């Protein structure tokens, strides 16, 4: 065997490729089972629990964690914080992939992918919150695609189209912020119609506000978390500008996240007071609520503040993981754990292993596509032909 073949084999069969390939094969098999055997073949969903992990994690968590795109674009292009410019393209890419995978994952729950556009074509449905969420997500996915386009256009050498795409940046940013505000809050509003099913500590007329503010936390924390991983695995793809601005981006976003987390904690307490639910804090669900609100809201707010004060980047990066886990926990609490809380354990929903496998499969696809793009396109560096013209 030649040296070239040996090198190619070593490059192809890396631990990442082997694990990702195995997950994708398993996911593909389960996908076939899902679309040939129906939901019953691969899920534990029922009439009492029609929404499971694919909605709670793939949709609610996915949309929240993809909020870094609108948060970063708004900071740079609307509020003039140019010192964070190097974070825009990675954040927009993460947001675009996040929303694209949310739509992809939705097909597993809804089925009949060819009918996904029907609400926009066959019937108006404009009084439905689900219609509003669907319309906003579809439009925002388009906005993210257009915001992301300058990078592949630079890669392909299409200068004129790239110039047009760049000129649309401000308009797209404004449109993106409006759409994000609408659908992030509307996802919370979906649960306003089930006061008898969602535990009182998580149910609140402020749910739309909670979802929107926590999505900002998710966006800020995901930018830090994604940046941490990228600097570990893709540092060779980064130029001097990206490397030199990283500390400022981390400190600035951590400071903002600390303030937003503190505000979120305060309005959650106001919500408990408004509903006079203090007595529920002594129950088992109350203890779990305190774990969420103290361990994943108050604590990261404090740790972010300490990290910014001491310029402790390592503490900030670990705190971003804690904050991201907190968002995941909150969305799962609202959609799954504290939902149908009054039912006996035998009737409660717990995801089938194939549901979990599909979620892992979808996340893996996102990582593989992200890796493919950042190793080929100008995401972490400025294209030589467009230096200082971004």
Of 232, 181, 226, whose CA–CA distance to 323 is shortest? 226
Of 44, 189, 34, 170, whose CA–CA distance to 113 is shortest? 34
**Cβ–Cβ < 8 Å for 253, 296:** no
Q: Which CATH superfamily is domain 19-383 in?
A: Formate dehydrogenase/DMSO reductase domain (1.20.1630.10)
Cα→Cα distances 368→24, 105, 155, 242, 360, Å: 10, 16, 19, 22, 12
Angle at 150 between CA 147 and CA 152, to 5 degrees: 115
For residue 198, the Cα-to-chain-centroid distance in whole angstroms is 23
- Please give the Cα distance from 176 to 182 (Å, whole number): 10
pLDDT reported for residue 388: 53
**DSSP class of residue 266?**
H
174 burial via Cβ count (<10 Å: 0-12, 13-18, 19+) = middle
Strand, helix or coil at 351?
coil
| Average pLDDT value for residue range 118-136 | 78
CA R_g for the chain: 22
- Calculate what percentage of the chain has a pLDDT beyond 90: 79
| Average pLDDT value for residue range 162-187 | 93
pLDDT reported for residue 275: 92
- Which token pair is 323? 């904050």
51 burial via Cβ count (<10 Å: 0-12, 13-18, 19+) = middle
- Please give the Cα distance from 109 to 100 (Å, whole number): 15
| pLDDT of 210 higher than 80 | yes
Other CB atoms within 10 Å distance of the CB of residue 331: 27
- Could you give phi then psi for residue 324, rounded to 5 degrees? -65, -45
pLDDT reported for residue 5: 42
| Average pLDDT value for residue range 7-21 | 77
pLDDT reported for residue 124: 62
Domain ranges of the chain: 19-383
| Average pLDDT value for residue range 14-24 | 94
122 burial via Cβ count (<10 Å: 0-12, 13-18, 19+) = exposed
| pLDDT of 1 higher than 60 | no
Confidence bin at 242 (pLDDT 50/70/90): confident
| pLDDT of 7 higher than 50 | no
Stated pTM of the model:
0.92
- Which token pair is 317? 């990066």
Please list the alpha-helical segments (H only) found in 157-239: 159-167, 169-189, 207-233
| pLDDT of 390 higher than 60 | no
Strand, helix or coil at 344?
coil
pLDDT reported for residue 343: 86
pLDDT tens digits for range 52-66: 999 999 999 999 999
pLDDT tens digits for range 336-355: 999 999 888 888 899 999 99
Strand, helix or coil at 26?
helix
Confidence bin at 4 (pLDDT 50/70/90): very low
pLDDT reported for residue 150: 94
């Amino acid at each position: 065997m030649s040296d070239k073949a040996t090198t190619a084999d070593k490059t192809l069969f890396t631990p990442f490729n082997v694990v990702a390939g195995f997950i994708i094969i398993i996911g593909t098999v389960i996908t076939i089972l899902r679309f040939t055997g129906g939901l019953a073949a691969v899920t534990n969903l029922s009439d009492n629990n029609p929404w499971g992990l694919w909605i709670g994690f793939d949709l609610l968590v996915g949309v929240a964690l993809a909020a870094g795109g609108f948060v970063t674009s708004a900071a740079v292009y609307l509020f003039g914080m140019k010192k964070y410019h190097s974070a825009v393209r990675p954040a927009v890419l993460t947001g675009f992939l996040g929303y694209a995978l949310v739509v992809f994952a939705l097909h597993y729950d809804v089925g009949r992918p060819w009918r996904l556009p029907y609400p926009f074509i066959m019937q108006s449905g404009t009084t439905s919150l689900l219609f509003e969420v669907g319309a906003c997500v579809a439009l925002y996915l388009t906005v993210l695609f257009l915001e992301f386009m300058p990078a592949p256009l630079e890669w392909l050498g299409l200068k004129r189209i790239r110039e047009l795409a760049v000129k649309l940046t401000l308009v797209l940013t404004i449109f993106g912020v409006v759409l994000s505000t609408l659908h992030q809050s509307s996802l919370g509003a979906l649960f306003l119609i089930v006061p008898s099913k969602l535990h009182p500590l998580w149910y609140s007329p402020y749910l739309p506000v909670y979802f929107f503010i926590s999505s900002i936390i998710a966006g800020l924390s995901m930018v830090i978390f994604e940046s941490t991983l990228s600097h570990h695995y893709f540092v060779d793809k980064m130029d001097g500008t990206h490397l030199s601005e990283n500390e400022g981006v981390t400190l600035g976003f951590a400071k903002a996240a600390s303030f937003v987390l503190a505000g979120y904690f305060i309005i959650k307490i106001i919500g408990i007071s408004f509903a006079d639910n203090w007595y529920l804090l002594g129950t088992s669900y109350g203890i779990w609520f305190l774990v969420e609100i103290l361990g994943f809201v108050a604590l990261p707010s404090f740790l972010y503040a300490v990290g910014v004060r001491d310029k402790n980047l390592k503490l900030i990066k670990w705190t971003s993981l804690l904050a991201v886990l907190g968002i995941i926990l909150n969305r799962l609490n609202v959609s799954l754990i504290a939902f149908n809380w009054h039912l006996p354990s035998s009737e409660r929903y717990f995801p089938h292993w194939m549901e979990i496998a599909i979620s892992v499969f979808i996340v893996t696809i996102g990582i593989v596509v992200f890796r493919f793009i950042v190793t080929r396109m100008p995401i972490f560096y400025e294209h030589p032909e467009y230096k200082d013209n971004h």
